[in-house]
Chains A and B, each alone.
Chain A
Amino acid sequence: MKDATTLLQAAQSILAPWAKEFTYPDPMRLDVALAAGDIAPAAAALRAAGWGYLTAITGLDLGVEAGKLEVLYHFCDGPALVNLRVTLPRDNPVINSVCGAIPSASFFERELSEMFGVTVAGTPNPDKLFLPEDWPDGVYPLRKDFEPELLTRGRP
């Protein structure tokens, strides 16, 4: 089995064309900051090189004051972990789908979209996955300013 260092170095050279910054939070983990527009080609490059698999997509709300959302794409290969990290503006977060190269990302993108209000451009199925059909538009439960009262506002 390949060791984490070799795997992470390989990932670093695959991602070099798009990376804004590489950081190693721990020896098994490489974080790669990307511009929002570069997520699809970067993910496709990992897939094309056969580097690991997309294990999850995590959304993060940095808060109203910061005005930013973060989206993390977690790729794993053996013991090694690569996080592609993208920052989006909170008021109009749009990101391209990675489903072209990684079809299994569809569920993750649907979840990201309904929970954080991120528009995933080009995702094959933009329907809700977890939230009810009558969930109000523009209310995103994992944003920091979510209040349960938003769900009943304007209703009798």
Chain B
Amino acid sequence: MTEQVPNKFIVPIGPQHPALKEPGHFEFSVDGEIVTDASIRLGYVHRGVERGTEDRTWVQNLYLIERICGICSHIHATAYTLGVEKLAGLSAPPRAQAIRELFCELERIHSHLLWIGVAAHEAGFDALFMYSWRDRETVMDLLEELSGNRVHYSCNVLGGVKFDISDAQRDAILRGLDFLEQRTHHYLQVVTQDAAFVRRTRGVGVMTKEQAVEYGAVGPVARASGVERDVRVDAPYLAYEQFPVQMITDTAGDLEARFAVRVRELFESYRVIRAILDKLPAGELMAKMPRKIPPGEAIVRVEAPRGELFYFIKSNGGDKPERVKVRTPSICNFGSVARLTIGHQLADAPMILAGIDPCFSCNDRAVRIKRQDHIQSWTWSDLRRYALKKYSA
């Protein structure tokens, strides 16, 4: 009698190319088609930023912090400046706070549109990918027009902002938003009604509200499972009290809900940007900051495009921070994806990963399939093709 060979092998995926955000290494154990276990290894581009902040002055750190992420650079700089201002016992003038919020929402628009494209690509919808990235250029052009930069806008300074919004810029933003809003209606229709698209998303990767809480999910991923958490609403910062947003939630908890929540958040961003431009407070752009920051601890929470971003800043009274701790939203959502893929088809893994918006676009890296004593090498594109083929049948 031959011994039954357990039909189980491990599919390691990644580490990813660091072109977008955190690259990660995922290892899926598979029994036939079904994922039975998943583990994560991060740190492939760990740059020691937290340590680096301790050797730089409060002002120099602003530039380091803004480079933690190339997608949500502004929200990092905003969290840091809010913390330093709190320690110094002052706050930026109302006009500066409103301009910061405006940049936050423009950044969210570009981030969400970028994600729609990445996720559409993983689902094999390259037309949607190209349309959404074409449309995203509208908001990138606006950011460049306002700040001179497409990516690191460098809008914040300690105590305020660098740029004002001119009348011509305001009109350009409003024109851009009109176009994007009309396009977003189309996207909402595609992600909730297109039969081929919802086949990849409806009922896939379902996370209940209880699971979302237990796994520690944040941001749109948590809200798509009915967890009512949005720092902009729960603990308004910047000018979110004067220019509030509505929390967007869903109850389905599947991939479709994650798509729908992000797309519907775009409408909220358009609305709040219009409200800010309509009633932009008059006044100064900057408050004067001391060079040395009084001793103390400050904790700041803000809502990045991917969810709650947490900063802990400690000063010992000098011209450099004693400690800056950064907890990004993705670390929380990575934990949820590891648990979510279990029990799903391997073919659903690309979409479940893309569903948390982990920045997976430039991930054409080695994927190895370990099976007994021979190792088969896959690339991420192989895995994606495998998934597409499976779903084209």
**Which residues of A are in contact with B by a Cβ distance under 8 Å?**
1, 25, 28-29, 53-56, 58-60, 72, 74, 76, 78-79, 81, 83, 102-108, 125, 127-132, 141-142, 146
B275 within 8 A of partner (CB)? no
Q: Determine whether B312 belongs to the interface, using a CB cutoff of 8 Å to chain A.
A: yes
B43 and A58 within 8 A (CB): no
User: Quick check: is B244 within 8 A (CB to CB) of the other chain?
Assistant: no
Does B100 reach chain A (CB closer than 8 Å)? Answer: no
CA distance A107 to B218 in the complex (A): 14
A9 to chain B, nearest CB (A): 17
Q: Are B46 and A130 in contact (CB under 8 A)?
A: yes
Q: How far is the CB of B215 from chain A (nearest CB, A)?
A: 6
Minimal Cβ-Cβ distance residue in A for B299: A81
Given A74-B310, A141-B51, A53–B213 Cβ distance below 8 Å? yes
Asked if B297 contacts A25 (CB within 8 A), the reply is yes
How far is it, in angstroms, between the C-alpha of A27 and the C-alpha of B334 when the chains are bound? 32
Among A55, A78, A83, A102, the residue within 8 A (CB) of B327 is A55
26 A–B contacts, CB within 8 A, in A order: A1-B234, A25-B297, A53-B229, A55-B327, A56-B325, A56-B327, A58-B323, A74-B312, A76-B308, A78-B234, A79-B235, A102-B216, A103-B215, A104-B335, A107-B332, A108-B327, A125-B39, A127-B41, A128-B41, A129-B43, A130-B43, A130-B46, A131-B46, A141-B48, A142-B50, A142-B51
Task: Assess whether B214 is in contact with A104, with CB atoms less than 8 Å apart.
Answer: yes
Contacts A103-B215, A106-B335; is A58 near B325 (CB within 8 Å)? yes
Contact indicator B310/A55 (Cβ below 8 Å): yes
Closest to B22 in A: A130
Number of residues of chain B lying within 8 A (CB) of chain A: 30
Neighbouring B residues of A131 by C-beta, 8 Å? 43, 46
B280 close to chain A: CB less than 8 A: no
- Shortest CB-to-CB span from B66 to chain A, Å, is 20
* Residue in A closest to B323 when the chains form the complex, CB atoms: A60
Q: Distance in Å from the Cβ of A85 to the closest Cβ of chain B?
A: 10
A142 to B310, CA, bound (A): 18
Q: Does B258 contact A (CB under 8 A)?
A: no
- Contact indicator per residue, chain B 326-346, by CB within 8 Å of chain A (1) or not (0): 010001101100000000000
* CB–CB A107/B310 < 8 A: no
Cβ contacts under 8 Å, A128 to chain B? 41, 43
Interchain nearest-CB distance for B331 vs A (Å): 6
Which of A53, A78, A125 has most B Cβ within 10 Å? A53
Residue contact B312 to A129, C-beta cutoff 8 Å: no
Q: Does B314 contact A (CB under 8 A)?
A: yes
CB distance from A62 to the nearest CB of B (A): 9
Contact in complex: A132, B214 (CB < 8 Å): no
B residues near A28, Cβ cutoff 8 Å: 235
**Docked CA distance A25–B86 (Å):** 12
Query: B314 contacts which chain A residues (CB < 8 A)?
Result: 60
Chain B residue nearest in CB terms to A25: B297
Chain A residues closer than 8 Å to B296, beta-carbon distance: 25
Please, which residues of chain A bring their CB within 8 A of the CB of B327? 55-56, 108
A28 to B43, CA, bound (A): 33
With both beta carbons as reference points, the residue of chain B lying nearest to A141 in the complex is identified as: B51
Partner among B46, B312, B323 whose Cβ is within 8 Å of the Cβ of A56? B312
Complex: how many Å from CA A105 to CA B332? 9
Assuming the contacts A128-B43, A130-B46, asked whether A56 and B310 have C-beta atoms less than 8 A apart, the reply is: yes
Q: Which residues of A contact B331 (CB under 8 A)?
A: 107
Inter-subunit contact A129/B308 (CB<8 Å): no
| CB of B301 within 8 Å of the partner chain | yes
Residues from chain B with a CB closer than 8 A to the CB of A125 are: 39
**Residues of chain A contacted by B323 (CB below 8 angstroms):** 58, 60
Contacting residues, chain B, for A53 (C-beta < 8 A): 213, 216, 229
Give Cα A51 to B43, complex, Å.
31
Q: Which residues of A contact B214 (CB under 8 A)?
A: 103-104
Tell me whether B234 and A104 are in contact (CB under 8 A).
Answer: no
Q: Across the interface, which residues of A come within 8 angstroms of B312, CB to CB?
A: 56, 58, 72, 74
